[in-house]
Structure 1
Amino acid sequence: MANDASAVFDTLSPAVSGGSLADPFTPPADSSLWRKNFLLGAATASYQIEGAVNEDGRLPSIWDTFSAIPGKVLAGDTGAVACDHYHRWEADVDMLASLGLEGYRLSIAWPRVMDAAGVPNRKGLDFYKRLLNRLKEKGITTFVTLYHWDLPQHLEDRGGWLNRDTAYRFADYADLMSRELAGTVDAWATLNEPWCSAYLGYGNGHHAPGLANDRFATQAMHHLLLAHGLAVPVLRANDPASQKGIVANIGRGTANSESAADQRAAHLFEVQHNAWILDPLLKGSYPQDLFELWPGTEPLVLDGDMETISAPLDFLGINYYFRTNVASDGAHGFRDVPLEGVERTQMGWEVYPDGLRDLLTAFRKTYHNLPPIYITENGMASDDQVTDGHVEDTQRISFLKRHLAAVDQAIKAGVDIRGYFLWSLMDNFEWAFGYERRFGVVHVDYSTQKRTIKRSAQWVAKFLKERKARA
């Protein structure tokens, strides 16, 4: 069908099953991907790549604590060493630049830059200054996320995101970072995926700090969003030339049947995954349907909170990976009904690029104040192996092609999308799944820290080189 992202890309270039790069990716002449100002980059996160968790004054984070608990992370893995980026950052920046990637999205490790009393840690700050200055020297656009889940453990000991005071401590942290790094950051994102922090961290316990209570999840979410709202004016004051936004992960929910119950279940899935975050940011209120799913879990909201949370954004970061097929659970919620015969990744997630286009076009209709969008994460995990010095990750190339097609379709439908960051630059610590799941376009041998450019990275680099030649 004409609007199927998979079908669109099948017509754009030869099959990649053999891994050949003889023919570069060639979108149609009218594709937005040829636009000189459409940013193409890659993303990482501090705890997933830096390592050096006990060096230069870094304090423990909730992920240091959580991953040390037996059974919480696959194979007992931790982020103690990860990709050793803290020591190898110069070579990693050179590698990023050699691929021609135009943007780099990274995060700051809150426990690395200030102590429990809020006193700046100069060694930690200097690390990020050196990193960002080198990126600017290379002409790479910098997107910096302040919070990518590594909350200082001392704040969790005082209640973490269940404690309203953590939102104010986050504003202090944002103040320090934007004063210290002003001029080196093109775009600030306050939070990465508050849904994961709130629900996986406090609702079902799959992520740090490992608590499991629906009431905890809604209150943690409110304090996360409040932290965002408190930080935005601080960032604006200290670094006025940069963009300010937030990053949300979104999920496409489809109904298992045409029954009213299953259709309602799919709606509630998207309320929980999307509207729970976007409604407060863009409408200034929580969706009431959320509390149909979780009766009696309304968070404590003080006067003025929603106005703080819904302050205008310069951009909205969107992370998308897969869709979920659901049916009614027979009560007031939904249950997953995995489809058979569909393409899946190493994570078990369905490859469904049309879901990205469908959600983006729906958001444009739902939120009349929808800010410009960057796709801040999109990618897939595969069990990649190095053979004769090469990694033939052909499924990833196909995945990226089809999702970029979906982005192009959304732009043509009127959605203001200004860039795309693939996840991830390199294989890394994949949270509760440890090091087994590989999302990178660069392979990392964790025993030697050797980086090997995968075929997908070569494919992206070749396209960017061709786009530059056409400009």
Structure 2
Amino acid sequence: MKRKDFPKKFEWGIASSAYQTEGAWNIDEKGPSIWDTFTNAKNFTEGNGNTATDFYHSYKEDILKIKDLNLSSFRFSISWSRIFPDGIGAPNPKGVAFYHAVIATCLEHKITPWVTLYHWDLPQKLEEKGGWTNREILHWFAHYVEFCSLEYGDKVKNWMVLNEPMSYVGLGYFLGEHAPGKTGLQNFLPAAHHTVLCQAIGGKILRKNNKNACIGTTFSCSQVTPKNILRRNLNAAKRLDALLNRFFIEPALGLGYPTESLPGLKKIEKYFKPGDEELMQFDFDFIGIQYYFRIVAHYSLFPPILFAKEIPATKRNVKTNTMGMEIYHKGLYKMLKKFSKYKGVKNIYITEAGTCLEDSLKNGTINDKERIKYFKKNFKQVLKAIDKGIKVKGYFIWTLVDNFEWAEGTKPRFGIIHNDFKTQERRFKRSALWFQKFLSKD
């Protein structure tokens, strides 16, 4: 398999996020985000992103590494609280200038910037007002997007409104495992509905202010397989699929929430206002899918409403990464096929896909040959999708440098560049050298 096997205009990029890389959490007048608060709490033991990979100070070097690896695009997110320390009000000039500098460095090296507007780091001041559970966030988010689209829109043509809404709503406002640590349907339902509305509102503002912009949003997804063909397990898999793969994309396409598969979530209609069905919809230029693992589901009395649980991959005698997620490459093709069937989906980018594995030092090189195998097998699934006529337009590797992996801390290493978190020294892994050669035009 070679680069030339892919379409000539196929986008090869790297993906990252602000909180996981920037550090500089409380300097240059940046306000705290919910992740600053969450990870600096006494009961959180996995460290924090206060320094992360120090991208705030090393962005020039890291972007140059992207160029050296022959990647053509860089996906990064803007920290809302770096621009607006209180979430609303007057912008912070130093924060605004930082992203101008990042964008300018990308363009200097002929790397296309792809900006994600929200990658989970809500300003803490807004969370204190209810965060995503407060319908006022429609106005807060609109204010933020309006500013960013006008401030950076002359240089940035590719935008992603949200990153993985099911992840930050489900883990942050239902299970409490991620920031801000809230639990229960009373938090999940309003947060989910307001997220869907903001997803479309953000797209409409970008379209209004940036006529030639390419606008998308991203969704986490997992191939959901039933434990066996017993009807109760088949239905359990359908419910999990509706929640994990359909819940946030279908409202944007005018299909509403998939409550026919999840009748217990009809309670979300309690949070509707007149006109919301139309307000939820936006005609995106592309969608991003982010695939990491497969789920095997079975019927369970708990949790109620869902009546389904995942059988952990560690109990199924399958290959896993260091976070215990099953490595199942065929699922990537199945997800591309699934999302391509939606009438309103024009183009698909794989906006995140990677894996965390144990790396070893051998002859002065970080040896991660299993990661190379992982990407090769993933790329075969992408080529299969393209050959079947699915409009896959690009692949963004997760990620450049080993970073702060949310509630898991710095233990999982997803980067193709090794990071020493004590010294911030970067070293190319074998996978980085492989990409450098694979993407070479020579």
| TM-score normalised by L of structure 1 | 0.89
Q: Does 1:234 align with 2:205?
A: yes
Structure 2 CA distance, aligned partners of 1:376 and 1:140?
16
CA distance in 2 between partners of 1:320 and 1:222 (Å): 23
Map of 2:185 onto structure 1: 214
What aligned pairs does 1:132-211 form with structure 2 within 5 A after superposition?
A: 132-211=103-182
**1:256 and 2:227 matched:** yes
Local SS of the residue matching 2:396: strand
Deviation at residue 183 of structure 1 after TM alignment: 2.2
Tell me the SS of whatever aligns to 1:250. strand
**TM alignment of 1:45-444, pairs within 5 A:** 45-74=17-46, 77-116=47-86, 117-289=88-260, 291-292=262-263, 294=265, 296-330=267-301, 333-338=307-312, 340-365=316-341, 367-444=342-419
Aligned-partner Cα distance in 2 for 1:464–1:284:
39
Amino acid at match of 2:27: E
Which amino acid in structure 2 is aligned with residue 191 of structure 1?
L
| SS of residue in 1 equivalent to 2:248 | helix
Say which SS state the counterpart of residue 354 (structure 2) adopts.
coil
Structure showing greater relative contact order (alpha-carbon pairs closer than 8 Å, 6 or more residues apart): 1
In 1, Cα distance between the equivalents of 2:186 and 2:10?
41
SS at match of 2:126: helix
Does the C-alpha gap of structure 1 residues 243 and 299 become closer, same or farther in structure 2, counting only changes over 3 Å?
farther
> Equivalences for 1:22-41 in 2 at 5 Å?
25-26=1-2, 31=5, 33=6, 35-41=7-13
Contact 1:168 1:230 in 2 (8 A): no
Q: Secondary structure at the match of 1:251?
A: strand
Contact 1:248/1:319 (CA < 8 Å) preserved in 2?
yes
Alignment: residue pair count: 436
- Give the CA RMSD over aligned residues: 1.6
Please state how far the C-alpha of 1:168 moved relative to its aligned partner.
1.4
Amino acid at match of 1:45: S
Q: CA deviation at 1:271?
A: 0.3
String of CA shifts for 1:203-254, please: whole Å, max 9, x gaps.
Answer: 1001000011123112101111211211222212222222111111111110
Q: Matched residues in 2 for 1:207 and 1:84: separation?
A: 22
Shift of 1:294: 4.5
Residue type at the aligned position of 2:434: W
Displacement of 1:363 after TM fit?
2.4
Contact 1:389 1:452 in 2 (8 A): no
What is the one-letter code of the residue matched to 1:317?
A: G
Change (3 A) 1:300 1:442: same
Secondary structure of 1:218 counterpart: helix
Query: Are the aligned partners of 2:12 and 2:396 in contact in 1 as well (CA < 8 Å)?
Result: yes
For 1:349 and 1:283, how far apart are their aligned partners in 2? Answer: 32
Which residue of the partner structure matches residue 15 of structure 1?
none
Asked if the contact 1:284/1:309 (under 8 Å) is kept, the reply is no
SS in 2 for 1:60: coil
The alpha-carbon distance between structure 1 residues 314 and 325, as it changes in their structure 2 partners (threshold 3 A), is same
Q: Tell me if structure 1 keeps the 8 A contact 2:193–2:268.
A: no
1:253 and 1:266 in contact (8 A); partners too: yes
1:16-64 CA distance string (max 9 Å, x none): xxxxxxxxx537x7x3x2x220001110100000000111110000001
**Structure 2: gaps (5+ residues):** none
Change (3 A) 1:214 1:242: same
1:144-186 residue CA offsets vs partner (Å, 9 max, x unmatched):
0000000000000000000011121111101111111112213
Write the distance in 1 (CA, Å) between the matches of 2:286 and 2:75. 14
Q: Which moved more, 1:238-247 or 1:194-203?
A: 238-247
For residues 235 and 283 of structure 2, what CA distance do their matches in structure 1 show?
31
Indicate if the aligned counterparts of 1:284 and 1:306 stay in contact, CA closer than 8 A: no
Matched residue SS, 1:374: strand
- Equivalent-residue separation in structure 1 for 2:111 and 2:233 (angstroms): 46
- Which has the higher mean CA deviation after the structures are superposed, 207-216 or 152-161? 207-216
Residue 19 of structure 2 is aligned to residue 44 of structure 1: no
* Residue number among 441, 445, 452 corresponding to 2:420 in the alignment: 445
Using the alignment, how far apart are the partners of 2:329 and 2:270 within structure 1?
34
* 1:335 maps to amino acid: K
Q: Which amino acid aligns with 2:358?
A: D
Structure 2 partner of 1:16? none
> Is the deviation greater in 153-162 or in 95-104?
95-104
Counting aligned pairs with the same residue, the percent is 37
Range moving further from structure 2, 167-176 or 293-302:
293-302
C-alpha contact 1:253 1:324 (8 A) present in aligned 2: yes
Secondary structure of the residue that 1:321 maps to in structure 2?
Answer: strand
Q: 2:378 & 2:229 partners in 1: Cα distance?
A: 27
Are 1:276 and 1:290, in contact at CA under 8 Å, matched by a contact in 2? Answer: no
- Post-superposition CA distance 1:52-80 (Å, at most 9, x none): 01111100000011111233352xx0110
Unpaired runs of 5+ residues, structure 1, are: 1-24
Distance in 1, Cα, partners of 2:425 & 2:186 = 44
How far apart in 2 are the matches of 1:296 and 1:118? 34
C-alpha deviations, 1:399-452, integer Å up to 9, x for none? 111111111111222211100001011100000001111110111000110001
Letter in 1 for 2:78: I
Aligned mates of 2:329, 2:278 — CA distance in 1: 34
* Structure 2: distance between partners of 1:387 and 1:84: 27
